[in-house]
Amino acid sequence: MDFAKSLSLVERYHSLIPGGSHTYAKGDDQYPAHMLPYVARGEGCRMWDADGNEFIEWGMGLRSVTLGHAYPPVVEAARKAMLDGTNFIRPSLIELEAAEAFLDIIQGADMVKFSKDGSDATSGAVRVSRAYTGRDLVAKCANHPFFSVDDWFIGGTPMSAGIPEATRALTVTFRYNDIESVEELFDRYPDRLACLILEPEKYDPPADGFLHKLRDLCDRNGTVLIFDEMITGFRWHLGGAQAFYDVVPDLSSWGKALANGFSVSALAGKKEIMELGGLLHDKERVFLLSGTHAAETHGLAAALATMKVYREEPVIETLWRQGQRLADGLNRAIADQDLEAHIQLFGRPCCLVYGTKDGEGNPSQPFRTLFLQEIMKRGVIAPSLIVSYSHDDEAVDKTVEAFHGAFGVYRKALEEGIEGFLESRPVQPVWRTFNEYRLG
């Protein structure tokens, strides 16, 4: 593939946008340096870059596009809404319609506030939990990589520059599927934990009733239980992982797939907590969520259209089925190249990721780079393996074929040394304290 036009844009991007991207996970340091496609358009499960290269895409807007790029019913709903205006001085009728439709799906939630990104929703949940409980400490799951761009979360990452130590000290951690680590927090900080926040599931399913035990511990200790359903929502189940596992949190945050890539997020929860951000109480007021663009009509119209497709068509079933078809094909290809010790798939079929290891069995960024390089040469872009409703059998089969070819190169690199195969500097993890990156 020729990336000449895209590569000619790199310095322009970096001269105007810190990092060359508005999202760290989409940054140049996440891809081979000589293969940095800038996207011109997308349709279904495919995208085309500035050079006209076509890819089957498996990132799907960082899991936000579940139906497919430019999905006609969603695009048409947003277009129609825009013709009547996008933003007004008072709430629009579509805000009530969207709230009713959303709450009809989410079990145990009485109220909802819409916003534009996931960080707003999770941070709103943390703030109102602190107000509701009168406590300061936030307990986050240490095994889950991202909750918010705000200080309460970023302070505990390797990119904590600019965040006061006093703020960092207000967030403590527990481990997923380790109920003893949660009990230890309650013992260490009695009557101090405002909330526990976690994804209901990441790569491993909850074991031994873990989520139900969290629910019980929070009830007994007066702590708010928050589920971050940004990824699990509209993938595991229409009602999210909380419906999949039959555990009702006090608050839950939603986004990504809610509007098929349009900027809509939501904080939903119990009325007694959510109403603290409203007008119908005599307690101290909570600045819950408030955004000039939070309820733009076209975004909510896209969300309504997305929810309608989910209700009327077998979206969830298709995500699981096609994800399983992909996993089965890739595992056969991995076995065919004798790479079981070096490449593994993780997660549910509807939301797969993969890991790359070197000859000693250690996680390897150079081998990840090599693998990305080889699948992109074959017309697939897949930093993860996120299936959409538009990934048909042909797309899955072509992806398996491309991966099989890349696995052959991977096997040779293990045997002969990666230096002769890797064509650019290695990619880097997003979470790191210092840069190890140069243009080109």
pLDDT at 435 over 80: yes
Q: Tell me which CATH code domain 4-70+314-420 carries.
A: 3.90.1150.10
Confidence of residue 440 (pLDDT cuts 50, 70, 90): low
Report CA 199 to chain centroid distance, whole Å: 10
The stretch 382-392 carries a mean pLDDT of 98
- Where are the CATH 3.90.1150.10 domain residues in the chain? 4-70+314-420
Which listed CATH number (1.20.1250.20, 3.40.718.10, 3.40.640.10, 3.60.15.10) goes with 87-295? 3.40.640.10
Whole-number percent of the chain with pLDDT over 90: 97
**Tens digits of residue pLDDT in 60-102:** 999 999 999 999 999 999 999 999 999 999 999 999 999 999 9
Please state which of the ranges 133-137, 264-268, 288-292, 316-320 shows the lowest mean pLDDT: 288-292
Exposure b/e, 289-328, CB count within 10 A at least 16 = b? beeeebbbbbbbbbbbbbbebbeeeebbebbbebbbbbbe
The stretch 146-156 carries a mean pLDDT of 94
Distance between CA atoms of 143 and 173, rounded to whole angstroms?
9
- Where are the CATH 3.40.640.10 domain residues in the chain? 87-295
pLDDT at 436 over 80: no
The stretch 135-150 carries a mean pLDDT of 96
The stretch 423-433 carries a mean pLDDT of 90
Query: What is the DSSP-derived secondary structure letter of residue 37?
Result: P
Q: Label the pairing between strands 111-115 and 265-269.
A: antiparallel
Distance between CA atoms of 363 and 361, rounded to whole angstroms?
7
Q: Please tell me the predicted confidence (pLDDT) of residue 329.
A: 98
Q: Please tell me the predicted confidence (pLDDT) of residue 437.
A: 73
Check residue 437 and give left, alpha or beta (phi > 0: left; psi -120 to 50: alpha).
Answer: beta
Q: If residue 397 lies in a helix (H) or strand (E), which one and from where to where? A: helix 393-416
Residues 6+ apart with CB under 8 A from 159: 431, 432, 433
Of the candidates 218, 254, 237, the residue with the CA atom closest to the CA atom of residue 132: 218
Question: How many C-beta atoms surround the C-beta of residue 205 within 10 A?
Answer: 15
**Tens digits of residue pLDDT in 99-135:** 999 999 998 899 999 999 999 999 999 999 999 999 9
Please state which of the ranges 292-306, 363-377, 418-432 shows the lowest mean pLDDT: 418-432
Q: Please tell me the predicted confidence (pLDDT) of residue 107.
A: 86
**Tens digits of residue pLDDT in 268-288:** 999 999 999 999 999 999 999
CB 349, CB 327: distance < 8 Å = yes
pLDDT at 175 over 70: yes
**Tens digits of residue pLDDT in 324-376:** 999 999 999 999 999 999 999 999 999 999 999 999 999 999 999 999 999 99
Residue 265, beta-bridge partner list? 115
- For the entire predicted model, the pTM comes to 0.96
pLDDT at 387 over 90: yes
pLDDT at 163 over 70: yes
Confidence of residue 439 (pLDDT cuts 50, 70, 90): confident
The stretch 43-59 carries a mean pLDDT of 98
Strands in 152-297 per DSSP E: 171-174, 193-198, 224-228, 251-254, 265-269
Exposure b/e, 398-437, CB count within 10 A at least 16 = b? ebbebbbbbbebbbebbeeebeebbebbbbbebeeeeeee
Confidence of residue 389 (pLDDT cuts 50, 70, 90): very high
How many helices (H) and strands (E) in the chain? Answer: 16, 13
CB 425, CB 357: distance < 8 Å = no
pLDDT at 218 over 70: yes
Phi and psi dihedrals of 119, rounded to 5?
Answer: -60, -40
Distance between CA atoms of 292 and 156, rounded to whole angstroms?
30
